[in-house]
A and B are shown apart, each in its own frame.
Chain A
Amino acid sequence: MAVMVCVITSPAIVGLDTATVQVEVDLRPGLPAFAVVGLPDAAVQEARERVRSGIANQGYRVPPVRIVANLAPADLRKAGPQYDLPIALAILAGAEQLSPSAVAGVGAAGELALDGTLRPVAGTLAMAEHAARHGWRALVVPVQNAAEAALVEGETTIIPVGSLREAAEVLAGERPVPIVAPAPWPPDVRNDVPDLCDVHGQPAARRALEIAAAGMHSLLMVGPPGGGKTMLARRIPGLLPPLTRDDAITLTRIHSVAGRLPPGQGLMSRRPFRAPHHSISAAGLVGGGRLPQPGEVTLAHLGVLFLDEVGAFQPQVLDALRQPMEHGVVDVVRAMASARFPARPLLVCAGNPCPCGHADDPGGRCVCPPGRAETYQARLSGPVADRIDIRIEVPRVDSAALIEGVPDEPSSAVAARVEAADARRIERGQQYPNARLQGTALRKAVSLDGNGRRVMESAMTRLGLTARGFDRVLRVARTIADLDSSRKVGESHLLEAVGLRAYRSLG
């Protein structure tokens, strides 16, 4: 038998970026053996068994020789089962069961089942983009990942296949290339997002949600258990303006890399809602790992990051939110690799007013000692305080309001107003939402008249508004004016924003 080396390529995922990995297979005479080299992790090592069974069960023959698979470059750590398919194809080509010219310039990624069928892998969209960018002739992907790979426009032919045999036959030209249509755009969305019409009463909270959504203002909800804070938070994604296609692709890439894209779904057309438990670690929240993986703040990018019981999170975990909330990105630097992930979620926090949760219960059920509620609140707002624009109290709902159950305004009506307010922001020539207005841009967007200045002055003297708090009120007032279709930020807009201010003592 001829001694030969066969090369096929596969894109490796590093953070959200990609790198080309050459999969070389060498078959040489000797005792039958199979080795994988090139800094493989455990999943790649185990590829040997899957590849051997997969090839045999698809009716091909594993050559009884010494097989060495080398993944280059040797200094890049290779992880995951995506190398099963390229290794198998390279063996088939090396053993001349498939013409070596059929695999030249072809990339492949996929996990093999023992029977030789393919299982989906993470990060296919990023891989397809990589293939297109580098002018690969074709990219073979598992059929389950076809929809996301089809989003990429370019010269690369995407070959979605269900098994090793199918892959080999398509590459050999014995079968036509299966056609996959990209996910339709604009998508049909919002039909299964929880609707605001399920929330009865609570006009103040509804209004605050609308303002938060219109300006992407971070929100803190304080109230006793059972007030519906979580219920309200879950409805925010349905109020946010629809995603652009570029944003949807960004989200798809992130969720695909994290292996969290729902099976069969080609495009993340809905804004994400992430609600990590308060026991989460800093790495879980902002991203981490030896090979950097996106954290919750990135998975919630362009959607809602909901921190329930925010007072129960470790302060240093909340502190890790500082960089993403300020710069919109997270840099995860590890010995093996470093990665930059986008992270611009709408931050929504919820907390109890005191440790027992009943400080604002009119029935006086609170069992906390005097002053405890204030210290608890200080701790609750401490690490996140800098990042909160709007604070509201969510009282327990009257049982009457629940029983009467008059359907309230649906999300679609609120979302229409939010979209209109967002359009006015764009009309103004402002690239980013009001929550990110700062310094001169903020002063320019909000010019105060005499009445406005008077309101702000008395807010500073009477309510002890700080410079930071002052800016927050201006930002929120700008959004309220946008919702009111007003070019100018007037007295009533400022007054309402003062009522929503982030700092407020319990009295």
Chain B
Amino acid sequence: MTLSTADVCALALLAHHLGRDLQRAARRAGGPRSLLTASDDVFCAALGVSGAGRARVAGVRRQVAQTDAEAVLKARGITAIGAGDGRASPLLAQAFDPPFGVFTTAPGRCAEAWDGRRPVIAIVGSRRAGVASTAFAASLAAGLVRRGAVIVSGLARGVDAAAHRGALDAAGTTIAVLGAGVDSSYPRANRALRKRIDAEGAVVSEYWPETLPAPWRFPARNRIVAGIAHAVVVVDAAATSGALITADFAVELGRPVLAVPHPPWEAGGAGAVNLIATGAAVCRGVDDVVDEVPHPGWTDLGGAVPPTELEGTAARVFDRIRTCPGRLDELVSHLSLEAREVSAALAELELAGLAVVDAQQRWLAQPTH
């Protein structure tokens, strides 16, 4: 199936104005092209609209037909990549229910990222993730980038944001798939990150640029995240987390799914543990992902970061938090040191990227890959 830019725009605009998804209607009408060229009666039948709604649908179709969508896109610096276009993701084409096309502000970087020469890894997880999970996601993304991978995620809070950030910090490429138009600045908390991705990575969406976020668009977005990735890594997910939807799509496509193990008493990791129980591979770090995803694009270059030489108090504090994370007060009493020595050592570790403090004010050693 090949769709022109004009077709992709027309379908996205229709979906935008009608406020609904056209995938099923397109299947009923015998394909997206047939849906676009169908009479109003056939169009409404495919959409399942009858009675008074038909006049509105016809009106929207007329309005869309009169819109010069491509000029709008051009003015906003957005490109539509239709299914079957040379720049489209070949992996996404194999996905179940592939989108008619995607909109992006960086078509060149997208095409280069998903042309198949580099492994594309999706890193997803909870929005409520603790700092241990986000730190792991960031360092995993950085480690995978150094091995030649492209990182895909959904620009949500928590794990998603950490994965993008980790990839960018390691000077890698990252693709953010939105559940709204590419113009949307949702979620607001990630505005600064969004700017970095615009400059160094790519933001893609199947929706018309003005589309607002809606709850049902996020699961649909997850099928694209899974669709363009060679494998999905679930860093943490509660039993009902949306990250599991991404994993399900990957399973249906027969692509590897990895999950980070969590202790059973951490409710926030139950979904990830369930994935492992049902056959997902265990992800302990970069090597597990490389082993699980056969791809010629993996490199050995720039593997691990050379460990920083630690001495004195900093070394003692680091050894302690590596095995037993703790709050400043706890570290002071366990190590029998002065508060000022421990806090200076923790600041030194934090500046060296070797320690982070979580929401419970516990200091944790940063995973290094």
- Determine which of B328, B339, B351, B357 lies in contact with A462 in the assembled complex, contact meaning CB atoms within 8 Å: B351
Closest A residue to B352 by beta carbon equals: A458
Q: Is B87 an interface residue (CB 8 A)?
A: no
B305 within 8 A of A: no
Contact residues of B between 242 and 290, Cβ < 8 Å to A:
267
- The bracket for how many chain A residues form the interface is 35 or more
Given contacts A204-B332, A507-B134, contact A480 B359 (CB under 8 A): no
CB distance from A106 to the nearest CB of B (A): 60
Roughly how many angstroms separate A106 CA and B23 CA in the complex, as a whole number? 98
Q: When the two chains form their complex, are residues A499 and B361 in contact, meaning their CB atoms are under 8 A apart?
A: no
Minimal beta-carbon separation of A158 from chain B (angstroms): 51
Q: Is the CB of B351 within 8 A of A207?
A: no
The verdict on A393 contacting chain B, using a C-beta distance below 8 Å, is yes
B351 touches A458 (CB 8 A): yes
Compute how far the CA of A462 lies from the CA of B348 in the bound complex, rounded to whole angstroms.
Answer: 11
For the residues of B in contact with A, the DSSP-based class is: helix
Point out the residues of chain A lying under 8 angstroms from B353, CB to CB: 462
CA distance A492 to B361 in the complex (A): 22
A and B contact pairs by CB, cutoff 8 A, 29 listed: A202-B329, A203-B328, A205-B329, A207-B339, A359-B359, A360-B359, A360-B361, A362-B360, A362-B362, A370-B127, A370-B128, A370-B157, A370-B158, A371-B189, A395-B327, A395-B360, A459-B351, A462-B351, A462-B353, A493-B344, A495-B351, A496-B340, A496-B343, A496-B347, A499-B344, A499-B346, A499-B350, A506-B359, A507-B359
Q: Which of A317-339 contact B (CB under 8 A)?
A: none
Interface string of A457-472 (1 = CB under 8 A from B): 0110011000000000
The yes or no answer to A69 lying at the interface (CB within 8 A) is: no
Q: If the complex has contacts A395-B327, A458-B351, A499-B347, are A507 and B332 also in contact, measured as CB distance less than 8 A?
A: no
Beyond contacts A463-B350, A492-B344: 8 other A-B pairs, Cβ-Cβ < 8 A, are A202-B329, A203-B333, A204-B328, A204-B329, A360-B359, A360-B361, A507-B356, A507-B359
Bound-complex Cα distance A500 to B357 (A): 13
| Contacts A359-B359, A393-B361, A455-B351 given; does A204 touch B343 at CB 8 Å | yes
Instruction: Flag whether B7 is at the interface (Cβ < 8 A).
Output: no
The chain B residue sitting closest to A354, CB to CB, is: B359
| Residues of chain B in range 317-340 having any CB-CB distance to chain A below 8 Å | 327-329, 332-333, 338-340
Once the chains bind, are B351 and A395 in contact (CB under 8 Å)?
Answer: no
* B358 sits at the interface (CB 8 A): yes
Contacts of A374 in B (CB 8 A): 189
Q: Chain A, 191-212, contact with B by CB distance < 8 Å: what is the 0/1 string?
A: 0000000000111111100000
Give the contacting residue for B343; candidates A201, A207, A455; CB below 8 A.
A207
Give residues 349-382 of A contacting B (CB, 8 Å).
Answer: 353, 359-362, 364, 370-371, 373-374
